[in-house]
Amino acid sequence: NEEKLAQSIRESLFLVNNFANSYFQDILHNHRDGQAIGMSYFRQRGFRDDIIKKFQLGFSTESRDALYQEAKRKGFNTDYLVKTGLCYTRDDGQVRDRFWGRVIFPVHTLSGKVVAFGGRVLNTADKKVAKYVNSPESEIYHKSRELYGIYFAKQAIVKQDKCFLVEGYTDVISMHQCGIENVVANSGTALTKEQIHLLHRFTNNITLLYDGDEAGIHAAQRGTDMLLAAGMNVKILLLPDGDDPDSFARKHDAATFRKYVEEHQVDFLKFKTSLLLSQAQNDPRKLSQLVAEIVTSISF
């Protein structure tokens, strides 16, 4: 009976997410704010209408409880709205939407169910407001187990026996639009064993595709050893300064993008050696540390 109850709660949470996904898309396509603000943002990013529909992108108005009121009208249970993280209860007992005033990126499971949402604020002038808000962990969502875009990428990954791993939602979407579909994102979280296990079901070959800035280099270093330990073949490509996969994909077609990757991706030994040599600058202590780091990666 406990298992049946747990299963029925999970199904209810998926139903609530499904409703919210349709609601956000409807606002984007049919509400005047959705068209004037949300759509113009996506178009300014260069996203085509077919790509916006494919990834089921949405919009939420500035109203703090519009989704909640619509869900109540449709008979959805407040408890489930809070459990999925779509809403939260304030100290004074009022229920508020989590994602007001943002463009919405739904996160799909491997089988295509909507398990969570990411919302990006459009007015970045107010530094107190977080640029991205994501669904909290719930009974159906564990961010360490999900990869953004895996549902749309799995066939292309198998077909090409290779996967590109990027950092953010827009990187995945822009690469799809330029014709490269074997791409997923770990969406700002450090790469986890569960995510690697999920990828390993489809391919052994991973190319880490990160910005060439400090954060990108750090993320590539961290991910490499974990992937090697899981028996993956790892290549790394840091894009030219000032470019991330999103902006790079918008400037090039798929053939040019792939050619650039083939010519510039390096294996982990070359990546670590060139990176650490540039940092060591003939300092013997740093050089010995370099050797230790590379040997560690080889041991993985």
CB-CB contact of 272 with 279 (8 Å): no
Percent of the chain scoring above 90 in pLDDT: 73
* Residue 210: predicted pLDDT: 84
Q: What is the pLDDT of residues 181-226, one digit of tens each?
A: 999 998 767 889 999 999 999 999 999 998 877 778 888 888 899 9
- Beta-bridge partner residues of 103: 59, 120
- What is the reported pTM? 0.93
Supply the pLDDT for residue 174: 95
pLDDT at residue 235 in the model: 95
Show the tokens assigned to 208: 């880490």
Q: Provide the pLDDT for residue 216.
A: 80
Chain segment 254-267, per-residue pLDDT in tens: 899 989 999 999 99
pLDDT bin (cut points 50, 70, 90) of residue 243 is confident
Q: Which region among 111-115, 184-188, 238-242, 252-256 has the lowest average model confidence (pLDDT)?
A: 238-242
Express each pLDDT in 68-109 by its tens digit: 999 999 999 999 999 999 999 999 999 999 999 999 999 999
The rounded distance, in Å, linking the Cα atoms of 4 and 202 is 31
Q: Which pLDDT band holds residue 17 (cuts at 50, 70, 90)?
A: very high
Q: What is residue 88's predicted lDDT score, i.e. its pLDDT?
A: 96
The burial class, CB within 10 Å (0-12 / 13-18 / 19+), for 81 is buried
Residue 127 has pLDDT above 90, yes or no: no
- Which pLDDT value is given to residue 123? 78
Q: With beta carbons less than 8 A apart as the criterion, state whether 145 and 194 touch.
A: yes
Tens digit of pLDDT for each residue in 137-185?
999 999 999 999 999 999 999 999 999 999 899 999 999 999 999 999 9
Find, among 172, 239, 163, 164, the residue nearest to 201 by Cα: 163
